[in-house]
Structure 1
Amino acid sequence: MDTATTGLTFRDAEDNDVDLLVALIESAYRGDASRAGWTTEADILEGQRIDPEGVLAVIRSSDSRLLTVERDGTVVACCQLEHRGDHAFFGMFAVSPALQGGGLGKVIIAEAERQARETWGVTEMHMTVISVREDLIAWYERRGYRRTGRTSPFPYGDERFGIPQRDDLCFELLVKPLA
């Protein structure tokens, strides 16, 4: 039996999930706890990754879903899906650091793509990744995403997104066709 999919359930986040999801996202990307997994941004960004208001905005938006993943009743991952016309945007992806590297992320992204395609009839999934995150970009490329070379600026000076530890950060758009 595939342990990456054992006991998983997918559901839309609710208002009462906000604090738990903020803690999950923070643990996957920031601070020493994030170093237990491979998705840490602790060496390039300090401070917060997301705040409760940001999570709540996604939950309450009519064009977004915050897909929450549970294993045996415990929240272990989440991701944002946002309907943007002919494509969906994938973001706020977090897997508990203790469970990273075991195939769970592959299962979740495949399910997110399936749900976006079936729910909204979109033909592409878009995401942005900090351009210096070569290991993470390579992981997405192995899932069928391609680099576009199109970038957008990192929000320097807005501590809601963290405190940059270097001055060369920007987001690169990655795109995957959804068959």
Structure 2
Amino acid sequence: MSHAITLSFRPAVVADVPAIVPLVESAYRGESGLRGWTTESHLLDGQRTDPPAVAAIIEAPDSMVLLAESNGALQACCQLERQERAGYFGMFAVVPTLQGAGIGKAVLAEAERFAREVWGCEAMRMTVIEQRDELIQWYERRGYRLTGEHEPFPYGQERFGIPRRDDLRFVVLSKLLTVAA
């Protein structure tokens, strides 16, 4: 019998960086990422992020890392950034062994709620590596739509990872954030 995980949400502080970086790395890279379905290991080697990059997100204006915890343990996180009338959603990570348990849906819903209710955003935008069909479909099932826009992959900047192929680029997805009824 499985039990639903009860999550609490809070904005990260710089003291959370040592917990956030390994979570993000475990979800996107390496052996542990292969246990979940959101890994980029087949596309990229190297790091996904590092402590200075995460601290910069936390400390930047109109930016935050949203944490999802259960009984004090970090289960998931995402980056949120206010960009005019839209929120930007990124650096989304769920503990690989917990992926598929509904945590990701809950985090995305909380991120959308925060962007809409606290920041007054009308839409949420994100970029996803074009080759990640399964992940794009997951977002589409949650109301996101491909905008037709593309952004280049930052080749030559190893702090974002070491590409295993030369045709990577990002697609932009967007969703209108309607007021809950």
Q: Aligning the two structures, in what range does the TM-score lie when normalised by the shorter sequence?
A: over 0.9
Per the TM alignment, residue 134 of structure 1 is displaced from its structure 2 partner at its CA by 0.3
Alignment of 1:98-177 (within 5 A): 98-177=97-176
Sequence identity of aligned pairs in percent?
Answer: 56
Q: How does 1:1-179 map to 2 (within 5 A)?
A: 3-4=3-4, 6-179=5-178
Amino acid at match of 2:53: G
SS at the partner of 1:151? strand
**Partner SS, residue 166 of structure 1:** coil
SS state of the match for residue 118, structure 2?
A: helix
Residue 53 (structure 1) shift: 0.9
TM-score (norm 2): 0.95
Q: Deviations over 1:51-72 (max 9, x none)?
A: 1111001110111011011011
* Structure 1, unaligned runs of 5 or more: none
Q: Deviations over 1:88-134 (max 9, x none)?
A: 00011000001001111111101110011001111100000000000
Letter in 2 for 1:30: R
Q: AA paired with 2:133?
A: E
Q: CA deviation at 1:86?
A: 0.7
Runs ≥4 residues deviating over 3 A: none
The 1-side partners of 2:7 and 2:147 are apart by 33
Q: What is the rounded CA distance, in whole Å, between the counterparts of 1:99 and 1:14 in structure 2?
A: 24
Unaligned stretches of 5+ residues in structure 2: none
Q: What amino acid sits opposite 1:164 in the alignment?
A: P
- Count of paired positions: 177
2: CA distance, partners of 1:103 / 1:63 = 27
Kindly provide the amino acid, as one letter, of the partner of residue 64 in structure 2: R
CA shift for structure 1 position 7: 2.6
Tell me how large the CA RMSD over aligned residues is: 1.0
Query: 1:120 aligns to what SS in structure 2?
Result: coil
TM-score by length of 1: 0.96
